[in-house]
Structure 1
Amino acid sequence: MMYILIAINLLSFIIFGLDKRKAIKHQRRISESSLLTVTFFGGTIGAIIAMMIFRHKVSKKSFLWKFGVVILVQLIIIYFLRDKLMLML
């Protein structure tokens, strides 16, 4: 389970970095929904680190609101599934 989370966060970090690179080069970008989907399915830490390192999406308030909602939903899911999640670890 831990290896899967590491892989998802690494993927999230790479995708955010790639999107920043594409933004700088004025190329076709990765959609916000794709970035948020990877974040939702476990890539939150990788996304946060990438946002800080690459300074990507940190000034776009609409994205930050959506990002916050994703984290809030994750926290709610973890709260309600905490007993089942502890059994998996």
Structure 2
Amino acid sequence: MTLAIYILWNVIAFFLVGYDKRQAQKGGQRIQEKTFFYDAFFLGAAGVLFGLYFFHHKTKHRSFVIIIPLLLLWNLAVLYYLWIQGVLF
């Protein structure tokens, strides 16, 4: 895994939140909430969290406000572990 892949994954996560916000406004097909949690768990929490506040989307849902930052801490712990193992970067 490289830094570029991590950044790309988080950019995609960010835009998924924006897409879901746009769909919510138009009444279109929405992204399931569990998709955001899975994405955040698998090292996309920074993108999801930034997207939540940038697009002002799902910030009233306690589960998102509490769990996504916790998943960001999880992501940082995993990245640190991969870094000390020499797998990352």
User: Unpaired runs of 5+ in structure 2?
Assistant: none
Which fold has the larger relative contact order, with Cα–Cα distance below 8 Å and residues 6 or more apart in sequence? 2
1:39-86 Cα distance to aligned partner (Å, 9 max, x none): 2212222212211210011111122233234234334545655521xx
Given the two structures, how large is their TM-score scaled by the length of structure 2?
A: 0.78
Over 6 Å off, 4+ runs: none
Report the TM-score, using the length of structure 1 for normalisation.
0.78
Identical-residue share of aligned pairs (%): 30
* Structure with more of its chain in helix, by fraction: 1
Alpha-carbon distance, 1:8 to partner: 0.0
Greater displacement, 7-16 / 67-76: 67-76
Give aligned pairs, total.
87
CA RMSD, 1 decimal: 2.0
Runs of 5+ consecutive residues of structure 1 not aligned to the other structure: none
